[in-house]
């Protein structure tokens, strides 16, 4: 192939890759249920940092249009289950579900906030489940 054709193909490939990358970024920013759990956790910690009082987190959830409190307890933290272990995080917890209009009905995301005995935030866990 001539150098001109190689150059044009290289530029075309770069344009296609840029369009795909831009589309992926827009999708990730616009739809939290498609973001990896660690990214959502980081974002939640930016909005409700460690030490935030339980009442303030509950108010934050109440003001967010895509969050709904599913359960909470003033007597037990939330259970974080991993492949090899299951631990209770905190002394109290709030669990909220994340919903967005138009998101897949087969993907559910829950956010767990764990609090110490003084009702201060100690940890956040994000769980995404896929299924009917």
Question: What residue spans define the domains of the chain?
Answer: 1-30, 35-130
The pLDDT tens digits of the residues spanning 113-131 come to 999 999 999 999 998 887 6
- Cα–Cα distances in angstroms (integers) from residue 131 to residues 105, 108, 128, in the given order: 9, 8, 10
Instruction: Answer yes or no: are the C-beta atoms of 52 and 121 closer than 8 Å.
Output: yes
Instruction: Answer yes or no: are the C-beta atoms of 74 and 91 closer than 8 Å.
Output: no
| Distance in angstroms (rounded) separating the CA atoms of residues 51 and 116 | 9
Instruction: Answer yes or no: are the C-beta atoms of 114 and 122 closer than 8 Å.
Output: yes
| Distance in angstroms (rounded) separating the CA atoms of residues 129 and 70 | 15
pTM for the full model? 0.70
The pLDDT tens digits of the residues spanning 92-120 come to 999 999 876 666 667 788 999 999 999 99
């Amino acid at each position: 192939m001539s150098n001109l054709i190689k150059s044009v193909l290289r530029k075309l490939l770069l344009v296609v890759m840029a369009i795909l990358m831009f589309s992926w970024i827009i999708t990730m920013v616009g739809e939290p249920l498609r973001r990896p759990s660690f990214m959502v956790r980081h974002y939640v910690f930016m909005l409700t940092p460690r030490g935030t009082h339980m009442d303030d987190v509950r108010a934050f959830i109440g003001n967010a249009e895509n969050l709904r409190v599913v359960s909470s307890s003033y007597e037990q933290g939330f259970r974080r289950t991993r492949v090899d272990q299951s631990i209770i995080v905190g002394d109290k917890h709030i669990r909220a579900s994340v919903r967005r209009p138009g998101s897949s009905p087969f993907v559910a995301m829950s956010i767990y906030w764990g609090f110490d005995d003084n009702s201060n935030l100690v940890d956040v866990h994000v769980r995404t489940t896929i299924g009917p």
